[in-house]
Amino acid sequence: MPRVRLTVAYEGTDFHGWQAQEPPDAEPLRTVQGVLSECVTRVLRQPVVVTGASRTDAGVHALGQVAAFDAEFSMPIERLPLALTSRLPDDVQVRHAAIAADDFDPIADAVSKCYRYRLASAEPPQRWPPLLERRLEAWTRASLDLERMNAAAARLVGEHDFAGFAQIDHGRKTTVRTIHSCEVREPRPGTFEIDVAGSGFLYNMVRIIAGTLHEIGRGRCEPDRVDEILLGGDRRKAGPTMPAHGLCLLWIRYPCDPPREGSA
């Protein structure tokens, strides 16, 4: 039975995250996995469960989520993205489909991922908070210093124990992770993009990194606070967990994929 690899994009505002959720004695919650599995089942006319590489939280977006499923079908693989997207709701798209190796595992085989956190710095009436982009970027009243934020971001690169950048109930056996790159850009005045690429991430890790860089950018602490958090593992020393809607999963890389900027 062929294994299909999908690249999926979604606007996460109206979803309860990626992972299917069926509360007892209640209707299933609207999740990306649930919507996508139901659509694939209808199109291919057979029961299908789609497995995703990253279990994004409620409100988090994606441009490059990777998913896979097994099914027998006669449709040309290049027609599958349009067949699925035309039947999916407007906030989900299947961007690409390909036949993968029989043992392809979207979770275990991933070697690196990249997330982007978007943050608007605005103080009315000089500059207003996001309006058209309000579902895609968070907002702060603080003025942010790009140079300070990048000085702090560079200290995150490498293999470290990121316990201080994770929620207490992260549920992982180890908190050691490798960050390949962490950069902050200001593509237009007052709009900041924090790109973090790494081998894997702990629960809320990128949102806590973004919150820490925010505090450093506004001058509440120095860039070397990052070293203190990495060495001490104290979550209380890090910044707040930033809102989910500013976060987007940009891409996931696998051993068979060509190298790309920002990955190892």
* Catalytically active residues, by annotation: 57
Residue 135 belongs to what H/E stretch?
Answer: none
Rounded to 5°, angle at Cα 44 from 41 and 49: 35
- Spell 82-106 as b/e; 16+ CB within 10 A means b: ebbbeebeebbbbeebeebeeebeb
User: Any bridge partners for residue 178, and if so which?
Assistant: 159
For residue 28, what are the CA distances in angstroms to 16, 20, 35, 199, 245?
A: 10, 8, 11, 32, 22
**From CA 80, how far away is CA 230, in angstroms rounded?**
45
Sign, CA dihedral 90-6-50-99, equals positive
